[in-house]
Amino acid sequence: MTLKRRDLLRTGLGGLGAALLGPLLPGEARAYSVEPPGRPARISGRVRYAGKAPRPKKVSFSGGDAAYCRKFDIREESLRVGAGEGLQNAVVALETVARGKPIPETSPTLAEWRCTFVPHVLSITAGTKLLLHNRDPVLNTFHAIAQPGGRTLFNVGMPNLNQKLHRRIRKPGLVLMHCDVHPWEEAWIVAVPHPYHTVTDGAGRFVLDQVPPGRYTLVLWHEKLGTRKQTVEVGPGAHLKLEIAYPGK
């Protein structure tokens, strides 16, 4: 893990694990039960970066297979802003949900492709299977490191093109995924105790559907900009639309 990442974590910008799980620690995550609401609500919106975003810099190549990786235009992904100031790769989640929609049976996928992790930020429901996929014809590793603390959850090497493996991230929290072969490759995984979570797209948009009516704390996390919280309330069958701004740096 690079010094930059350690510094981010020391300053609390890796704080989604604490933000989501603070009431539940120490110990296991509170049990989530499947009870689909009769008249579910919907929360959607857009997250903006209220400032001038810098152009993503090219990564500094080092380590194995640099000759192969130089074929691609690989740039830093810690702050990506799209059209209309849309902030990409912000995790949006409800802080505590005891019951609600079923947990999806499909496995979320994290791939290494063209010497980078795809997607750069992934939210999953804790305990579900995670599909790891090497889409490069070179050796890649998937080194999952719990944050904070730096404990290795798993570290698997994949030398073959289209090699796939399943692994579980069993506990809620924040995980840094690192490739030991290509030091610039990093991704973030946020494991949430329930299925009410998502990641903003290239325009900063997000949707949380089938939400049980009620009052919640909406938590946002971004690897560079930190954590924000907002109280929201939705009635039966309601559609709450939000616009949330992160101040520029």
CB 116 within 8 A of CB 138: no
State both tokens at 127.
Answer: 């305990």
**Confidence (pLDDT) at 135:** 97
C-alpha distances out from residue 154 to 36, 74, 157, 177, Å: 34, 26, 10, 10
Q: What is the pLDDT of residues 159-213, one digit of tens each?
A: 999 999 999 999 999 999 999 999 999 999 999 999 999 999 999 999 999 999 9
CA distance 133 to 212: 34
How big is the chain, counted in residues? 249
The CATH homologous superfamily to which domain 3-247 belongs is Cupredoxins -  blue copper proteins (2.60.40.420)
Confidence check: pLDDT of 158 > 90: yes
Within 10 Å of residue 240's Cβ, how many Cβ atoms? Answer: 16
Straight-line distance from the first to the last Cα atom of the chain, in angstroms, rounded to the nearest whole number: 24
Confidence check: pLDDT of 17 > 70: no
CB 5 within 8 A of CB 13: no
According to DSSP, residue 85 is labeled: G
State both tokens at 135.
Answer: 């889409």
Within 10 Å of residue 64's Cβ, how many Cβ atoms? Answer: 15
Residue type, 200: T
**Confidence (pLDDT) at 65:** 74
- The dihedral built from the CA positions of residue 85, 86, 90 and 94, taken in this order, carries a sign that is positive
Cβ neighbours of residue 145 closer than 8 Å, sequence gap 6 or more: 1, 151, 152, 153, 175, 176, 177, 178
Average pLDDT, the chain: 88
Question: In which band, very low, low, confident or very high, does the pLDDT at 64 lie, cut at 50, 70 and 90?
Answer: low
Q: What is the pTM of this model?
A: 0.88
Task: Answer with the residue of higher pLDDT: 134 or 20.
Answer: 134
CA distance 101 to 194: 9
Residue reference for tokens 């929609």: 101
Nearest to 15 by CA among 148, 124, 127, 119: 148
The full set of domain ranges for the chain reads 3-247
Q: What is the pLDDT of residues 32-49, one digit of tens each?
A: 999 988 899 999 999 999
Nearest to 194 by CA among 95, 110, 105: 95
